Structure formats: structure tokens, C-alpha cells
Amino acid sequence: MVVSNAGHGVRLDHYLSNSHTAFSRSQCIAAIKSGHITVNGAVVKAGYRLRAGDTIIGSIAQTPTDTCVVPQPIDFSVLYEDEWLLAIAKPAKLAIHPGAGNQDHTLVNGLVYRFKELAEIGDSARPGIVHRLDKDTSGVVLVARTPDVHRTLARMFKDRRVNKTYLAIVHGVPGAADGRIVAPIGRHPVHRTWMAVRSHDGKHAVSKWRVARTFANFSLLEVNIETGRTHQIRVHLRHIGHPVAGDDLYGPKSAASHFPRQMLHAWRIGFVHPADGRQMLLEAPLPEDFVAALDKLEAESCSSV
């Protein structure tokens, strides 16, 4: 594998896990530490910063620590279910899968508790999972129930054949009724856990938005993403001056405490069913905290008139 311009400056372990979604970051780190991964013929550390043109060679194997997702009872709703796939309404503040800071009590812990066959589907650390939502984002998540559907859905997401629509409460009122944001996204040059618009070395990213409702100082936007970059909606809306309300990473710190979490909801997902060809459109109802925030903004807008 030759590192692209977008990978310049990215940690080796991050680059591998982002490039090969079938493997978790912990699997990539284990392969690097064991010397099974080389960069330009040399064994390096997981934190090695790549340069465009570097050549990565090696193999990644599952490790024992990645194969044990503990079944746990987790509260979530099933929006749709058939023999091939599931659609889950993920609550806010629930991580999709175990990782740093979330070793258990994640969505996948609940999935393997309720649907035991999922333990054998896809990556053992993320059984059945074909896409992700941020921990504080609520909404619809697709889960594959068979190996064939897992492979097909993963390819559909990669090929941008899945339509994803979100609802976001944002700061301010846009000057237009709708818009399209084309701005490449990459790692922040200083804060490596942040993403940012990176004109020269970011990955192509496109988001379309339209105003659904306006309030005194906030708006409800419907956002459709054509690509699926990390933190894409949050970064793009910040880029146009309308950050997501309650976002303590990309929004104004002084206002974050006025909302229970980042007010972003994965509302609808549309796709062709990988097993029978049906056109699917699945919707996750707004959770109570989102509805309460909208009601509060509506009341405040009326009182200010």
C-alpha cells in the first residue's frame, strides 16, 4: 500500500484502521508491535507519522483481545428486522463498539446479547457493524445478520450507494434556504483527535443541507451527506458558521451546556436491500431530548416576539 497525499502526517495505526475497516485499531496496533507491518522496509511504532509516498507492507491478524465482546443487556429499539439485517435506533451517549474509554456497555455488547448469531458476523470486535455514528449522535444504525449481507452493505457504504439524512439543531439562521458544502476533511494539524477542513490534504467530503425550521437564534437543518468522513457534518456546519448546538468539540464552549448533548440525529437511511432488491427507507423517530430541545427553542422564540 502506498500512502496517499491525504495520509501525510497521519499516524500509522490510524491510517491502517481507516483504510481497512474490517480491522479494528487494536488489531492494527498489535500487528505493528509484532513487526508484521513495515514502512519503507523498516519496522516502526504505531505512532509513526506517515509521509505521502511511503510504502506499507504486511498483514493484520485477529488477536485474542479482539475476539471477546461480552454480551450485556443494553437498552435500544429495533426499527426493522428480517433474516438478513437489522435497523437499530441508537440512543445518544451509547458508543457503537468497545474502544478507548468504552470497554463495554456499547451497542455491540447489547447486539450480541440479544442476537447471539451476530458474534460470528464481520469483525469480531464490531460484529455486524457496517457503519458508525458518534457516541453522542442518536439515530438509525444498520446491522448485518449474515456474512454475505455484511460484505454487501460494507461495499454499498464505501461506494456511496446508501442515502443518509440527519437532523441537526445549529447555531444561527442561515442566509439561504439550502446549500451544498464541498470541503475536504482531514486531521486537525494540532489537535489530533479533531477533524478539520483541510484544503490541500483532506479527503473529499460533500454535505447538502436545507432549513427545516428557524428559531430566534437557532435553526433545525436537514442534512444529507454524500460522503461519510469522520465528524463530517459537525466539521462542515462549523465551517459555514453554523456549528451543531451542544457540540463541545466544534461548537462554542459557552453554549454547549445549554443542550444535553450534540443535537445531531441520524434520521433516515435509504438503500436497496442487499438480499431481495427492495427499496428501503428506514426512519428513527426523534428522541425525547431532541424533541424537548426543539420545544424549548420554539417557546423561547415565541416569548421574544
Residue 150 shares a structural domain with residue 247: no
Give the pLDDT confidence score for residue 28 in this predicted structure. Answer: 86
Residue 55 shares a structural domain with residue 79: no
Residue 179 shares a structural domain with residue 251: yes
**Domain-located, residue 116:** yes
pTM value is: 0.77
Say which residues have a Cβ less than 8 Å from residue 191's Cβ, sequence separation at least 6. none
Question: pLDDT above 90 covers what percent of the chain?
Answer: 69
Alpha carbon of residue 271 to chain centroid: 17
pLDDT 10s digits, 62-82: 544 445 688 999 999 999 999
Rounded average pLDDT over 168-186: 97
Rounded average pLDDT over 277-288: 98
Give the pLDDT confidence score for residue 63 in this predicted structure. Answer: 46
Residue 194 shares a structural domain with residue 296: yes
Give the pLDDT confidence score for residue 6 in this predicted structure. Answer: 83
* Residue 129's CATH number: 3.30.2350.10
Range from 37-41, 45-49, 98-102, 203-207 carrying the lowest mean pLDDT: 98-102
Q: Which residues are catalytic?
A: 134
Identify which of 118, 141, 31 has the alpha carbon closest to the alpha carbon of residue 71.
118
Calculate helix-pair angle for 25-33, 12-19, nearest 10 degrees.
130
Question: pLDDT above 70 covers what percent of the chain?
Answer: 94
Identify which of 233, 257, 232, 262 has the alpha carbon closest to the alpha carbon of residue 245.
262
Residue 192 shares a structural domain with residue 256: yes
Classified as helix, coil or strand, 118 is: helix
Residue 130 shares a structural domain with residue 217: no
Say which residues have a Cβ less than 8 Å from residue 231's Cβ, sequence separation at least 6. 134, 185, 194, 195, 249, 250
pLDDT 10s digits, 289-299: 999 999 999 99
**Domain-located, residue 131:** yes
Residue 144 shares a structural domain with residue 251: no
**Domain-located, residue 33:** yes
Give the pLDDT confidence score for residue 123 in this predicted structure. Answer: 79
**Domain-located, residue 197:** yes
Rounded average pLDDT over 159-175: 97
Give the pLDDT confidence score for residue 101 in this predicted structure. Answer: 65
Domain count, the chain: 3
Residue 145 shares a structural domain with residue 171: no
For 168, phi then psi, to 5°, come to: -140, 130
Spatial separation of the C-alpha atoms in residues 279 and 272, rounded to whole Å: 5
Spatial separation of the C-alpha atoms in residues 40 and 291, rounded to whole Å: 53
CA angle at 145 for the pair 224 and 148, rounded to the nearest 5°: 85
Q: What is the mean pLDDT of the chain?
A: 91
Of 128, 159, 190, the position where a domain reaches its end is 159
Farthest-apart Cα atoms in the chain, separation: 68
Rounded average pLDDT over 126-132: 93
Residue 139 shares a structural domain with residue 47: no
Spatial separation of the C-alpha atoms in residues 83 and 104, rounded to whole Å: 26
Residue 16 domain boundaries: 5-65
Residue 237 shares a structural domain with residue 117: no
Say which residues have a Cβ less than 8 Å from residue 276's Cβ, sequence separation at least 6. none
Are 170 and 215 a contacting pair, CB within 8 Å?
no
Alpha carbon of residue 140 to chain centroid: 11
Residue 154 shares a structural domain with residue 181: no
Classified as helix, coil or strand, 31 is: helix
Q: Is 50 exceeded by the pLDDT of residue 22? A: yes
Q: Is 80 exceeded by the pLDDT of residue 152? A: yes
Q: What DSSP letter does each residue of 164-211 carry, written as one string?
A: EEEEEEEES--SSSEEEEE--EEE-SS-TTSEEE-TTTPBP-EEEEEE
* Residue 25's CATH number: 3.10.290.10
Classified as helix, coil or strand, 11 is: strand
Residue 104 shares a structural domain with residue 137: yes
C-alpha cell at 236: 462542515
Spatial separation of the C-alpha atoms in residues 171 and 167, rounded to whole Å: 13
Of 22, 42, 65, the position where a domain reaches its end is 65
**Domain-located, residue 252:** yes
**Domain-located, residue 105:** yes
